Amino acid sequence: MQLKEPLKAIVASTRDLWDQPGTRLAVRANFDKLLRCRTEALGAAIYASANQHKVVYYTCKSPACPSCGHRATTLWQREMWAALPDIEFAGLVLTMPDVLWPIFRTNRHLLGDLPVLGAAVIDEWSKETYGARLMIMVVRHTFGRHLNFNPHLHILVSAGGIRAADGNWIGGLAFNKKALMKRWRYALITYLREALKRGLLRSEATPRETQRSLTIQYERWWNIDVQRGMSKEHFLRYAGRYVRRPPLAQYRILAATPQEISFRTHDHKLKREVVTRYTPAEFMHHLADHVPDRYRHAIRHFGLLAPCSRRKTFGAIFAQLGQRRRPKPQHLSWAKSIEREFGVDPLQDSQGERMRVIAFRQPPQTVTTRG
């Protein structure tokens, strides 16, 4: 029989593997939140009508939680769809050779600079090529389809921008894949060389061996992807599948036993669906790699989408495009979110009457995970 919440069950059954001093604090805190989600440990609100009452337990708001991540994703998608103009965009994927993956896994403090590097590459190229500033949204991913650690960037870029010379909007911009690849390769290798020089890069290899490896990677071709004519709806749907929720959808989990955890995934090389199998220790090791550190945002905005630029320029951009700015969507309550997703109002009793909050149940104690 398939578990209703397999990921939660797996995390609970492997607590001895991750709840220990050697585990990153962010991993322990987020997994602990997941286990307390929608339980008495977080408290609850009590709703009632003349006919019945309901206890609604609070949620954890953790990015490691499938249900909380889904709600956060929905709210993010609504806000970004309303904020962006209806123009043509391009989708870029900036990858790196697999030889470099372990460097970022060992040196997680370097992951936060990847979006800055990727955005700078696009921003400088667009200014030199078209003399224009673009809208740039960077989503950092750290996982592959088999839960392996594979850091890369998914970037939404406007196919138009504000020309610095006269402040006018120009559209129909084309993106040179080869030129962007070379700039990305140069930026990342230069960044890693500087980190090595300053002693900020830990590695089992000697500095000389690491330097030699970086030189080899700089001389090879890097695969990046440029998808033209992408709509904002398509990108937001794609990025939303992973950006604020666990890297593995629960419906893909086939079995979870003390000996093995298996899940379905699509293998690009074989071009078919395969079953990936890990021991519980291996599975939790891979899953923990993708829990973001605290205060590390998975989504970053640059260029015309940077917060300060958006406030100053978006009014003029929408005016030049002949479009009206949409108001920020009203925040959806948990009840409205459930009704929107499943078509059922959770605060309507069996007689059709509305239930209202009558009391709050405080958590028994505040639980804090310490390193």
Q: What is the DSSP string of 130-171?
A: HSEEEEEEEEEEEE-TTS-EEEEEEEEEEEEEEETTT--EE-
Mean pLDDT in residue range 105-127: 96
pTM of structure: 0.90
List pLDDT tens digits, range 211-251. Answer: 999 999 999 999 999 998 888 998 888 887 777 778 888 89
Give φ, ψ of 361 to 5 degrees.
-110, 115
pLDDT value of position 229: 86
Mean pLDDT in residue range 263-272: 86
For residue 226, the SS3 value is strand
pLDDT value of position 371: 43
Give φ, ψ of 114 to 5 degrees.
-60, -45
Helices (H) and strands (E) in the chain, counts: 12, 12
pLDDT value of position 367: 47
With a cut of 60, say whether residue 333 has pLDDT above it: yes
C-alpha pair distances (Å), 311 with each of 75, 304, 308, 315: 21, 9, 5, 8
Q: What is the DSSP string of 248-278?
A: S-GGGEEEE-SS-EEEEEEETTTTEEEEEEE
Residue type, 318: F
Give the range with max mean pLDDT: 34-43, 230-239, 268-277: 34-43
With a cut of 80, say whether residue 1 has pLDDT above it: no
Closest CA to 199 of 124, 109, 301, 286: 109
